Structure 1
Amino acid sequence: INTPYKELMKEIITRYFSYIFNTQINNLYEENSISYLELEIKKNKFDIKFKNDKCIDISEQIYINNNIYYIDNPFIIDKINNSSNGYTLTEKKLINTLKKDYTNNMLENIIDSVKNKEILNKIKKLFDDAVNGKINSIGGFYYLDKVRFENLSTGIKSFIIIRMLLENGSLKEKDLLVLDEPEIHLHPEWQLLYAETIVLLQKYLDLTITITTHSPYFLEAINGYSKLHKIHNRVNFYFAEADDNNNVTINNVNDNINIIFKKMADPLKKLRNMRIEEFDNSKSEE
Structure 2
Amino acid sequence: MTTMTEHPAPRTPPRRRRRTRRLVITLLVVIGLLVAADFGAAAVFEYQVSKRAREQFHLTDDPSVKVQGFSFLVQAISGEYGHVSIDAKGVPVQDTLRDLEVHVDLMGVQAPLGDLLSGSLKQVAVDQVEGQVRVRSSDVARAVQRNENPLISSISNLTIDPISESEALSDPDDRTDEEQAAAERADELEDDDDTKAGAKICATGDIGGEETDFCANGLIELVENAKAKFTPSRLEVNNSVLGSGELPEQFEAGILQMLTVTLDPGELPFTVTPTAVNVEPGVLSVEGKAFDVVLGGSGG
Report TM bin, short chain.
under 0.3
Structure number with greater CO (CA < 8 Å, separation at least 6) is: 2
Q: TM-score, normalised by structure 1?
A: 0.24
Task: Please state which structure has a larger fraction of its residues in helix.
Answer: 1
Task: Please state which structure has a larger fraction of its residues in strand.
Answer: 2
Q: Larger Cα Rg: Structure 1 or Structure 2?
A: 2
Q: TM-score, normalised by structure 2?
A: 0.23
